[in-house]
Structure 1
Amino acid sequence: MKISNSVFVNQAGYPLKGPKVFTAAEAGEFELVEAGSGRILYEGVMSPLKEDRASGLAVAKGDFSGFEEAGRFFLRMKESGAVSPEFAVGERPYAALEKALLKSFYFQRCGMELTAEYAGPWSHGPCHLAEAHVHGNPEERYPQTGGWHDAGDYGKYTVAAVKAVADLLLAYERFPGAFAEPVGIPNASRLPDVLAEVQFELEFLLLMQRPDGEVYHKVTTAEFPPYDCMPEFDLAELIFSPVSDTATGSFAAGMALAARVYRELEPGLAERYAEAAKRAWRSLQGRPAAEGFRNPPGIITGEYGDKSSADEVYWAAAELFRLTGEAEYLQAAEAKLEEGWESWTAVRGNALLCRLGWAYTAGYGTLSLLDAGPGLVPEALRARLLGAWLAEAEEYAERSAADGFGISLLPEEYIWGSNMLVMNRAMVLITAEGMTGDKRFGQAALAHWDYLLGRNVLGYCYVTGFGANRVLNPHHRPSEGDGVAEPVPGMVAGGPNVRLQDETAVSLLAGAAPAACYVDHMESYSTNEMTIYWNSPAVFVAAYAGRI
């Protein structure tokens, strides 16, 4: 059977009782065929063809949600004979994928040997064991070992790390049952694997805090190592870049969130995290906000620059209020909200107020206040925030229904890390469903999930190790340097980037439609890198999708 490149499905599969929607570049009738036997088990009719600006195609949607039998299948268009990749329908079609998405964080661990027992063929020696010096002062040295490498390089960045930690903790808070089974990491604690993995990162983040409470922005070498450099051979000097208010604010928020999640299971850990959060918070008080972080002289690794720390401070205040119940934090959150409301709602509706990124973090603060128990947040404030959140979710749901591939991105929003944006918006939709019970939001979130796993114009499953058409050449140094044909599994590729921000993308993708501006090439870091904070929202969405 020759697979067509014109029938686009979730290649990981569809839940037995959930929605089952696909896209094709033709209209007319379709049939669902059992793999192996060739039996036709379901027939349907596509929607009318409609131009899809982002993909540059005219496409139609098909729906076989009424089919509820387990097995392996493919879809075939009656007129052309075009067929989709095979996929599963079952009770738990995403079980292996859920585990792989979470285990990818283990593969990013710094400072320890990844043994064959847990890492299989992707094992390697311990790395980055030396102390780092503070930028501008080679004699001032501190430990930095531990945590996760951020991406396809070996830097460790506070603001990126905290976004990843927050997504994982929020996933556990909402869907604890999704993390009941081990995923295959070393874990001698009584914590579920997700919390043990996050603890590994939190212990590193504590090393990023100075005694005065402020937090270093990142620890990296001065420049990136070669593309095929394995982590244990990256021996250049490690450097703490200066502290920043964005790092300090996000650190305070993440530690307060962690303290809340861990306090029932590990109260000792929770107390350490709470104290670190409060020290970071105190360091931000009584002085004007510093200018946004910029790389200091001689450092050319990822900058993670951010002009304003107002959203990080808002988030920190919200999380400290959730943790302590103390009015001063709620007052601080309200003050920052009032200060930022006009700018956070001016760009496009309520986008920045509900954004779940590493640079725009206000959405985490908003979600934290909305999740507070009854009567804790003044009703007028809660109503205002809920209205903004649901308005944003409504816009995503409407766009999803209109989009040929079921997602909420506008053509110009296929940017660096567009797959993170897709997953972040699915998080907003999932939480909106939880707040309202409106299934439309959940269905739109699942359409975003389908997109990540193959229902996109290129027909790629954007998670390494999965799908009939899978990513094989991610911008990820261990996967390039280890001599193993398959890349480390469970990593989310960055996705289409219409801005073409690397030489490979420019040379291979010029003139492509926005949703097609992706290439599975190791040197296309602007479309094909992985990061911990692209994987983290995917873990959240997987935890939801796996419970349908």
Structure 2
Amino acid sequence: MRQKINLLFVLLLAAAGAGAQSSWIRVNQLGYKPAAPKVAVWCSKNADSVKSFRLVDAATKKTVLSARASRAFGAWGPFAQAQRLDFSNAAKPGRYYLEGGGVRSPEFRIGGDVYAGTADFCLRYLRQQRCGFNPFLNDSCHTHDGYTVYDPNGEGRVDAVGGWHDASDYLQYATTSANATYHLLMAARDFPAVFTDTKNARGLDGANGYADVLDEARWGLDWLRKLHPDAGRMYHQVADDRDHRGFRIPKEDSFYGRGYERPVYFLTGEPQGLFQYRNRATGVSSTAAKFASAFALGNLLFRDRDRDYGIRLWEKAFSAELYSRKKRGAAQTAPGRAPYFYEEDNWADDEELASAAVAHMLMGKAYYKEYLDAALRSAAVEPVTPWLGADTARHYQWYPFVNPGHYELARALALPAVRALDVTYGEKRRALIGHYREGIRRVWDKARGNAFYRGVPAIWCSNNLTTAFAIQCYWYRTLSGDRQFEQLEAAAFDWLFGCNPWGTSMVYGLPAGGDTPTDPHSAFTHLNRYPIDGGLVDGPVYASIFNSLKGLRLSKEDAYAPFQSPQGVYHDDFGDYSTNEPTMDGTAALVYLLAAMESSPLSRPPVPRRGN
């Protein structure tokens, strides 16, 4: 009898093994616009391939399109084989799924409204990360910030209450906050029809005559104004990694030996670090120029609505731009008791953006040409963001992750009144657009060899890089009219919402009912099960990075274990701060990208290309 039971057990195990899934179809769970490229990826643990696939109407179960799969791309990541399934010619709105190679994809939508409201949805995360008064908690936190460190005038106090917590912990950095503010302002300027007005300036329910994206941008601007109280002072960081003493809901922290006060770091342009570790700062330009660009664009968007506020931003834009020249070089955030900090090494891109933004602010004035020319000189220093096409980079080494200065400058040089100033501006505008094309080409050279068209390195905050790269592709396409990288742009966007090896969206709660993060590295979710709607998590990192990080420990069995590989690991686990921690600046950039995708019909379905 025992022998029969043992035999039955063996047969059951064999049957289970034989039935284990070995192939998958990965799609953008958020959906696809009718006129946009539409590509899924069939991937398998086996070396076999598929010849064809079909698109099925989820309601009627009828096949609406049959097509051949792409060439086999071979092994990549956790898969032995993968192919692209291009169904771009399907344009009828509806709910669908794909079938091929004996497997079926998750359901998804095709429709003109598939991205409607998504940019506003991601603003929820930014409101939740507000410091000072927090509308999500309807309570205030960190109201005693703070006492100054590295201040050449001696220790004092400065009112640094406000802004956003940086990454689901409670440190605050001017460099990320200024970049986030600029992206929100750009989104409000470029896509005003996308955003609604349901919240007031404090982030509470109730319209106030300003789109919610402008309310959020103003929250950022007001904090930056506090950190640049006068022409001779600029601060760049509140708190340090003494913050990392465990999960808690934000209130008043007493980790810094001064009651409830936290340190506020003066922007000196010299290496900083109060304990064992120090950064490698060489100047102030990278951070101060980010202040200037945010103030200048803020002036453009607010001056007609609030004259006094616009004047204050005008003054801050000039003083911040002058401050950026005090000590030219890159500023970096200050570490504490751990060796991790934002290792920004470039600043010419920030100077270019600041000059271009001030030029826009001054448009029509007698002296705005000098700012245009200064921006062009900076553009020549770093024409291509260095990580594009590279296999790796240090944490935030090239920041922002792509250069908005080329876009802002190219927009200015397209204006007839500006072109009339200098006959060479047309040629110089084409050169700026060419810089974008060259960066995209470098990524394409790496991406074209795998079915996911993945050419973004799996370094810390790879989702931020992916979002930024998709924005650069969008800017290039809209400035040039060139569609040659359209499928690469779509692949970057699709990656964020499920067309990746793990089959998961990287945005908490988006889409509703989809496979999205549920256990992020966030005190809000871990302690109180609060949803962090719209938060973009860091994203996959190389296994070598994951294995090298300190204090990182998974809390449960890895649900994505079959899809981990040396090329990338991702864990939906609060213990993984390297891949599953939401970031404020990444989410702000995603607000811009989603607004662009909601506004843009993209183009006609692309003509199939060899190798697609």
TM-score (norm 2): 0.77
Supply the distance in 2 between the matched residues of 1:268 and 1:302 (Cα, whole angstroms): 41
Greater C-alpha Rg: 2
State the match for 1:376 in structure 2: 418
Aligned-residue CA RMSD (Å): 3.3
Aligned positions of 1:211-250 closer than 5 A: 211-221=230-240, 223-232=242-251, 234-236=253-255, 237-243=261-267, 244=269, 245=284, 246-250=286-290
Contact 1:256 1:319 survives alignment (8 Å): yes
Tell me how far 1:73 sits from its aligned partner: 2.4
Tell me how far 1:57 sits from its aligned partner: 3.7
Supply the distance in 1 between the matched residues of 2:436 and 2:329 (Cα, whole angstroms): 29
Work out whether 1:109 is the aligned partner of 2:148: no
Supply the distance in 2 between the matched residues of 1:67 and 1:511 (Cα, whole angstroms): 29
Tell me how far 1:191 sits from its aligned partner: 1.7
Q: Secondary structure of the equivalent of 1:126?
A: strand
State the match for 1:458 in structure 2: 502
Work out whether 1:146 is the aligned partner of 2:162: yes
State the match for 2:279 in structure 1: none
Aligned positions of 1:64-463 closer than 5 A: 64-77=87-100, 79-80=101-102, 82-114=103-135, 119=136, 123=137, 125-135=139-149, 140-180=156-196, 182=198, 185-186=203-204, 188-221=207-240, 223-232=242-251, 234-236=253-255, 237-243=261-267, 244=269, 245=284, 246-285=286-325, 287-289=326-328, 292-293=331-332, 295=334, 303-325=341-363, 326-338=368-380, 340-341=381-382, 359-360=399-400, 363-372=403-412, 373-374=415-416, 376=418, 378-396=425-443, 402-409=449-456, 413-463=457-507
Letter of the 2:177 partner, please give it.
A
Tell me how far 1:44 sits from its aligned partner: 2.4
Q: Secondary structure of the equivalent of 1:41?
A: strand
* 2:83 paired residue among 46, 52, 60: 60
* 1:543 paired residue among 587, 595, 598: 595
Contact 2:77 2:564 survives alignment (8 Å): no
CA gap of 1:71–1:291, structure 2 versus 1, over 3 A, is: closer
Supply the distance in 2 between the matched residues of 1:221 and 1:201 (Cα, whole angstroms): 20
Contact 2:402 2:468 survives alignment (8 Å): no
Supply the distance in 2 between the matched residues of 1:293 and 1:319 (Cα, whole angstroms): 23
Supply the distance in 2 between the matched residues of 1:535 and 1:73 (Cα, whole angstroms): 28
* 1:28 paired residue among 28, 39, 51: 51
Supply the distance in 1 between the matched residues of 2:397 and 2:184 (Cα, whole angstroms): 14
Work out whether 1:525 is the aligned partner of 2:577: yes
Contact 1:494 1:527 survives alignment (8 Å): yes
TM-score (norm 1): 0.86
Letter of the 1:43 partner, please give it.
S
CA gap of 1:214–1:281, structure 2 versus 1, over 3 A, is: farther
Tell me how far 1:361 sits from its aligned partner: 6.9
For residues 297-351 of structure 1, what are the alpha-carbon distances to aligned partners after superposition, in whole Å with 9 as ceiling and x for unaligned? x57696324345443223222221221142332343344345x248x67776899
State the match for 2:527 in structure 1: 481
State the match for 2:15 in structure 1: none
Supply the distance in 2 between the matched residues of 1:481 and 1:83 (Cα, whole angstroms): 36
CA gap of 1:350–1:172, structure 2 versus 1, over 3 A, is: farther
Q: Secondary structure of the equivalent of 1:223?
A: helix
Supply the distance in 1 between the matched residues of 2:56 and 2:199 (Cα, whole angstroms): 33
CA gap of 1:388–1:346, structure 2 versus 1, over 3 A, is: same
Contact 1:406 1:447 survives alignment (8 Å): yes
Supply the distance in 2 between the matched residues of 1:392 and 1:471 (Cα, whole angstroms): 31
Tell me how far 1:37 sits from its aligned partner: 4.5
Letter of the 2:239 partner, please give it.
T
Q: Which segments of 5 or more consecutive residues in structure 2 lack a partner in the other structure?
A: 1-19, 44-48, 256-260, 270-283, 420-424, 602-612
Q: Secondary structure of the equivalent of 2:139?
A: coil
Tell me how far 1:85 sits from its aligned partner: 1.4
State the match for 2:277 in structure 1: none
Tell me how far 1:200 sits from its aligned partner: 0.9
CA gap of 1:331–1:13, structure 2 versus 1, over 3 A, is: closer
Q: Secondary structure of the equivalent of 1:59?
A: strand
Contact 2:402 2:472 survives alignment (8 Å): no
Supply the distance in 1 between the matched residues of 2:385 and 2:60 (Cα, whole angstroms): 55
Per mean C-alpha deviation after superposition, the further-off stretch among 253-262 and 198-207 is 253-262
Letter of the 2:574 partner, please give it.
M
Contact 2:343 2:397 survives alignment (8 Å): no
Contact 2:385 2:403 survives alignment (8 Å): no
CA gap of 1:128–1:510, structure 2 versus 1, over 3 A, is: farther
Letter of the 1:520 partner, please give it.
D
Q: Secondary structure of the equivalent of 2:579?
A: helix
CA gap of 1:231–1:531, structure 2 versus 1, over 3 A, is: same
Supply the distance in 1 between the matched residues of 2:60 and 2:572 (Cα, whole angstroms): 33
CA gap of 1:213–1:27, structure 2 versus 1, over 3 A, is: farther
Tell me how far 1:62 sits from its aligned partner: 0.8
For residues 359-392 of structure 1, what are the alpha-carbon distances to aligned partners after superposition, in whole Å with 9 as ceiling and x for unaligned? 3577222222111023526334323222222332
Tell me how far 1:398 sits from its aligned partner: 6.0
Supply the distance in 2 between the matched residues of 1:179 and 1:90 (Cα, whole angstroms): 19
Supply the distance in 1 between the matched residues of 2:30 and 2:314 (Cα, whole angstroms): 39
Letter of the 2:110 partner, please give it.
V
Greater share of helix residues, 1 or 2? 1
For residues 466-515 of structure 1, what are the alpha-carbon distances to aligned partners after superposition, in whole Å with 9 as ceiling and x for unaligned? 3432111111222222244xx31111111111122535768878994355
Supply the distance in 2 between the matched residues of 1:74 and 1:349 (Cα, whole angstroms): 33
CA gap of 1:330–1:55, structure 2 versus 1, over 3 A, is: farther
Per mean C-alpha deviation after superposition, the further-off stretch among 440-449 and 526-535 is 440-449
Per mean C-alpha deviation after superposition, the further-off stretch among 394-403 and 248-257 is 394-403
Tell me how far 1:142 sits from its aligned partner: 1.9
Q: Secondary structure of the equivalent of 1:247?
A: helix
The alignment of Structure 1 onto Structure 2 pairs a total of residues equal to 526
For residues 415-459 of structure 1, what are the alpha-carbon distances to aligned partners after superposition, in whole Å with 9 as ceiling and x for unaligned? 111111111111111111111223344443222111110000111
Supply the distance in 2 between the matched residues of 1:274 and 1:461 (Cα, whole angstroms): 40
